[in-house]
Amino acid sequence: MLLLIILALTNGIINAQELPPSCSKPVYCNSKLLHYVQLARIYPDSKTFVDLQLRNDENTTLKAFDELLDQTNQNPTKDQIQAFVDQYFEPGNELEVWKPTDYSDNPTFLAKVRDNTLRKFAYDINAIWPTLGRKVKSIVFENPEKYSFIPISNGFIIPGGRFSEIYYWDTYWIIEGLLICGMENTARGMIENLIQLLRKLGHVPNGSRWYYEERSQPPLLSAMMALYVRKTKDLTFLKANIEALEDELEYWLETQTVTFEKSGKSYTLLRYYAPSEGPRPESYYEDYTTAQLFETEERQVEFYNEIKGAAESGWDFSTRWFIGNFGENTGNLSTIHTKDIVPVDLNAIFANALQNIAYFHGLLRNIRKGAHWAFLAKQWRNTIEAVLWNECDGIWYDYNLENGKHRKYFYPSNVAPLWLEAVERHVLKKHAPRVVKYLQGSQGLNFPGGIPTSLIRSGEQWDFPNAWPPLVSIVVNALRAIDSYESQQMAFHVAQTWVRACLKGFTENKQMFEKYDVEQPGKIGGGGEYTVQTGFGWSNGVVLEMIKMYGRSLTATDSLDKTEIYAVTVSQIKESFVSMAVN
């Protein structure tokens, strides 16, 4: 059935009746109740309703709402709908505040941070972890049918703000920060939570809510495991979960691949693709309203699936997914065509995941299995090179399946193959000078508040002037992967610019934000479907990553003697070369 759905969608001939529901909980995903409540706009944020807790069982609630519709001739007033929600729902109380048992208010890495102001900044960020710690209450395990939250066993770190659950790709940078702070047990628990979700649903969902059931996010689970294993050498945990890690890759291979021709040759890569019925439950009003721009049900169904695919990417939303009349990245959400774009970063992440599984089997002495996954990883790297590398511009680009052309726009994701070693070593050596030249000429590294998500001011939150922490991390690590003095200087400059911008924002607001404005250092970003969120998990992780990475040479200001700064920076760069040689 799944294969038939995929083929039908690819050919544009599917209707809503042939799609799977958004999830297996009708109240939160596919019901008249959801439709009426969200369109009544009882809550300014659509996510609020689907995070509420049921007072009764699901069938009782749905039957009572059907009775209300019968009594009101299918046209209840907003007040009647509000009264119904008040009677049958209550604010979710599924989580309790949890302080990680391995938290330390003075982690050892702080001693290596040379600048006093930055050491205090890192100290303050570390102190945020307990405020973001949560654990699922036992009542959720006892009555799971009353919650949209999918119960998970271990305590975890939430992103912050409206995001009170685990989010898949956020967790990678959160785990990176936790490991820097010596919180290995918490990191392990978070990985185990994701594996529980994987085993329950067959894939890791976008987040730990039932309404995210039918979509995932960038497959970074094996990369998280690699961070953990390299830090702890915990092969027992790895051995217990290696099959689950393989299952996730099989899921992506079975559901997200697309085969196409380029220059007379056939290639297979991944794209984001999350077909299911109706609007996103957590953004129901926004999706439904936008879909009314389309005159036919077929186009509305197509829009819902394209928007879910973009949400699966984590870049929700961006001109990166817009395809205008001539293949350019213009328009608005009505021109979103996520499934027709082969993304650089997704395929780099997947190539890395394949290689990680090979590495894990090597650690576990499973030589034959390791060779199998290593072969697949090499194939994927070669395909990335053949399809996504643009020889003229000297960079990797997303690929437009509609017109068979590269999408030649600046996005930080363009350098993702360097970030996760999705490039053969001899290819890296050949491409490195070109990539540096591309970045220097892109204007993307010229802003005082970080690296913009794009150079297009569209009003979408994954576009200019917003800078997102994970993308800054990707660029810094991509530059560090290039074995040249020039690239190392550039990496240091990007990291220092970012840390200073975040420090300024923290000093002024006593908060870390999910995104920032590149034109005004420290200022919160804007755009998108919701107000800017504080906390913030991945922002904390990335700043800690930068401070640990350059702890001896980063400075909060330029007040130190330039000669001294230069000497320390050169020393740090030399250490980076030595570290790369060892690894």
pLDDT tens by residue, 361-375 = 999 999 999 999 999
Is 316 an annotated catalytic residue? yes
Q: What is the mean pLDDT of residues 160-166?
A: 94
Nearest to 324 by CA among 391, 405, 396, 259: 405
Structure tokens, 151: 């119960």
Scanning 340-468, the segments in alpha helix (DSSP H) are 344-363, 367-388, 416-419, 425-442
Answer yes or no: is pLDDT of 476 > 80.
yes
What does the pLDDT read at residue 532?
A: 85
pLDDT at 226: 98
Across all residues in the chain, what is the average pLDDT? 93
Q: Are 500 and 521 contacting, i.e. CB atoms less than 8 angstroms apart?
A: yes
The H or E element spanning position 281 is none
**Rounded CA separation 515/174 (Å):** 15
The helix (run of H) or strand (run of E) holding residue 395 is: strand 395-396
Residue with the bigger pLDDT between 4 and 442: it is: 442
Structure-token pair, residue 579: 């570290």
Domain boundaries, the chain: 18-91
Of 501, 516, 579, 513, nearest in space to 546 by CA: 501
Which of 13-22, 125-134, 298-307, 437-446 shows the lowest mean pLDDT across its residues? 13-22
In the prediction, which pLDDT does 248 show? Answer: 98
Residues with Cβ < 8 Å from 236, sequence gap 6 or more?
none
- What are the structure tokens assigned to 565, written together? 């700064």
Q: pLDDT for 385-420, tens place per residue?
A: 999 999 999 999 999 999 999 999 999 999 999 999
- Long-range contacts (CB closer than 8 Å, 24 or more residues apart) made by 121-124: 121/499, 121/503, 121/506, 121/543, 121/547, 121/556, 122/543, 122/544, 122/547, 124/506
CA contacts within 13 A on the Cβ side of 67? 7
* pTM beyond 0.85, yes or no: yes
Identify which has the larger pLDDT, 578 or 269.
269
Q: What is the pLDDT of residues 448-473, one digit of tens each?
A: 999 999 999 999 999 999 999 999 99
- Identified catalytic residue from 170, 213, 316, 340: 316
pLDDT exceeds 90 at position 201? yes
Q: Is the pLDDT of residue 3 over 70?
A: no
pLDDT at 563 over 50: no
Residue 15 confidence class, pLDDT cut points 50, 70, 90: low
Q: Which one of the listed residues 94, 398, 514, 545 is annotated catalytic?
A: 514
Q: Mean of the pLDDT values across residues 284-295?
A: 97
Does residue 165 surpass a pLDDT of 50?
yes
**What average pLDDT does this structure show over 297-302?**
96
Q: What is the mean pLDDT of residues 248-263?
A: 97
> Strand, helix or coil at 463?
coil
**Tens digits of per-residue pLDDT, 24-64?**
999 999 999 999 999 999 999 999 999 999 999 999 999 99
